Structure 1
């Protein structure tokens, strides 16, 4: 087993810094033995290696070699307890907590404390190795972090499908492609031929999967489809573009955009779903009154399954990758094309 495929030890740090293990221990404990003075340049060299490797003292070393802490980490790239009632991550956390408790494990929440700017797993203050393994939460995950986790053999599972980062990434995600295709087929069956996709469709893998499902379904059904980015656009601008293109059904990546379009339509006498059907490709982060037609992302199930897959990784290694089906939601915002309601 190489140093890149196991936890770093004080011996590893000593070798990389060109000092003794005793010196590393003294620096870590911020002290010197009686009669021993560590030169400032030596101390700085050891600290530099510690920073560069994100080393933390291994608590497991105090236990039997074949025992684990039974602590599972959860690293969040975004705030999972945001103000204002937004609760997108809450079901994930419920599933993670339930399954961890059933497995007899404690949870340790990591937030990249001490880092200014975007959260990163590896930093001078990183403590992610305190856990036996880690579940990663976030719409986007830093590819350099993923590559390093894979390179150093740190056990982890990402919630959400991730592209390769130098090697396959273990994940559990939502199976967006068939869910979006099914919605497009429903709209086409109701006579819709001018469809639009509202949202970035890029950046996060989840966005790319939704747009891909839309495009593939549009091509397969022979209907016409346009993509309408939302950045910097007002709801009225977006509605103008949709109406101007003859759109009868719009697929919104974010519920907030769907709600904004509904409100703009009401102000201007455009009926939903009579004049314009709206299909949502996700879930709301706040309570809303609009019952969009769309699908449910299995967030709680994804949290549970992430813990189960992480347990498998800890026990037998491997790179599990799994997509869970999304559940259709009928809603009230899809109607036959041209069926204006008053």
Structure 2
């Protein structure tokens, strides 16, 4: 039932307190309190306050919050590349959707930082732009080409932030919401082994990156646990024929491909007269950044992009107020656990991998050398 607004049309904290049946001081503690003050408020009381706020449409006065020493309820979003989506099918759109959903749920506003130097390829510290982030109470960072020195500087300034995707920097605990690429890749590798494949390779882009390292780690772990030799390729040339000749010589019948390499690998295999998955099983390790033409029922896994964005925002809010939950469980032996969250990927059966047969390696050799 809607509440009757005051005659002047402005709902106050006193109105919220009256409807919730508590004191105005407690309402202020829920809205503006620090971590210690927040912990003094029970979950039931907090729910009553939030319910009263929703019923009355109360909006806190940001100027009053500033004078009271409270936060602005603003969280920034900064990207290291121009990744804001131009369509609903954009790779980065689900990350941003997750951030937005979590912000709406927690009652905070988002500030988009779009004019800073890292969009031109350099770190924020070189352009002197880190101070601009302090317009917000904290910040969610996003993008493939980040810079470790920025993360070190943010940690030294005690500025709440979280990265979408696992990031590492020397000497600091980097808060992040990452996909469990390690576990998902190990699971896909184990599935291929269960289907009878013994020589399974993995291909990746060149250059170090945490997401690539995590996938390769999971693959190597699964292969070694099965007593098989890991085989890795970095940025192979699918057009020269040498790659497929190598597969044939080593009797490799299945390949794990980083997300943007799966389609080129499949197209090149089909162009050489090979059948997928009969002659070569291909598993795609995540969603491609570059728009895929579609039409292929890929085996492998998908990235929990919406959940990663939402959890990154929750980690920022947890730093601002420790009573805010994150997706991880508290671990007294690993206090950084609340700042570093791994989210399971969704395994997809698909139709690009199949059980190996006794004729697979012979067919692969003939097609690769034809």
Q: For residue 167 of structure 2, what is the aligned residue in structure 1?
A: 162
Shift of 1:133: 0.1
**For residues 36-57 of structure 1, what are the alpha-carbon distances to aligned partners after superposition, in whole Å with 9 as ceiling and x for unaligned?**
xxxxxxxxxxxxxxxxxxxxxx
Q: For residue 349 of structure 2, what is the aligned residue in structure 1?
A: 330
Residue pair 2:142, 2:164 contacting (<8 A) in 1 also: yes
Normalising by the residue count of structure 2, what TM-score does the alignment of the two structures yield?
Answer: 0.70
RMSD, aligned α-carbons? 2.7
Shift of 1:140: 3.9
Q: For residue 102 of structure 1, what is the aligned residue in structure 2?
A: 105
**For residues 80-129 of structure 1, what are the alpha-carbon distances to aligned partners after superposition, in whole Å with 9 as ceiling and x for unaligned?**
13669872211000000011112111111124535673143332455211
How far apart, in 1, do the equivalents of 2:119 and 2:302 lie?
35
Shift of 1:281: 0.8
1:68 and 2:71 aligned: yes
Alpha-carbon distance change, 231 to 151 in structure 1, aligned in 2, over 3 angstroms? farther
How far apart, in 2, do the equivalents of 1:78 and 1:173 lie?
18
How far apart, in 1, do the equivalents of 2:197 and 2:237 lie?
28
Give the counterpart of 2:94 among 86, 91, 96: 91
Give the counterpart of 1:306 among 294, 308, 312: 312
Q: For residue 219 of structure 1, what is the aligned residue in structure 2?
A: 224
Comparing 117-126 and 130-139, the one that deviates more: 117-126
Give the counterpart of 1:242 among 242, 247, 250: 247
Give the SS at the match of 1:214: helix
Alpha-carbon distance change, 100 to 339 in structure 1, aligned in 2, over 3 angstroms? farther
Structure 2: give runs of 5+ residues left out of the alignment: 1-61, 324-334, 364-370
Residue pair 1:294, 1:330 contacting (<8 A) in 2 also: yes
Q: For residue 56 of structure 1, what is the aligned residue in structure 2?
A: none
Structure 1 segments (4+ residues) deviating >4 Å: 59-62, 82-86, 339-342
Q: For residue 43 of structure 2, what is the aligned residue in structure 1?
A: none
Normalising by the residue count of structure 1, what TM-score does the alignment of the two structures yield?
Answer: 0.75
Give the SS at the match of 2:261: helix
How far apart, in 2, do the equivalents of 1:140 and 1:117 lie?
11
Residue pair 2:82, 2:119 contacting (<8 A) in 1 also: no
Q: For residue 22 of structure 1, what is the aligned residue in structure 2?
A: none
Structure 1: give runs of 5+ residues left out of the alignment: 1-58
Give the counterpart of 1:185 among 171, 187, 190: 190
**For residues 60-83 of structure 1, what are the alpha-carbon distances to aligned partners after superposition, in whole Å with 9 as ceiling and x for unaligned?**
899225221111101101221366
Q: For residue 275 of structure 1, what is the aligned residue in structure 2?
A: 279
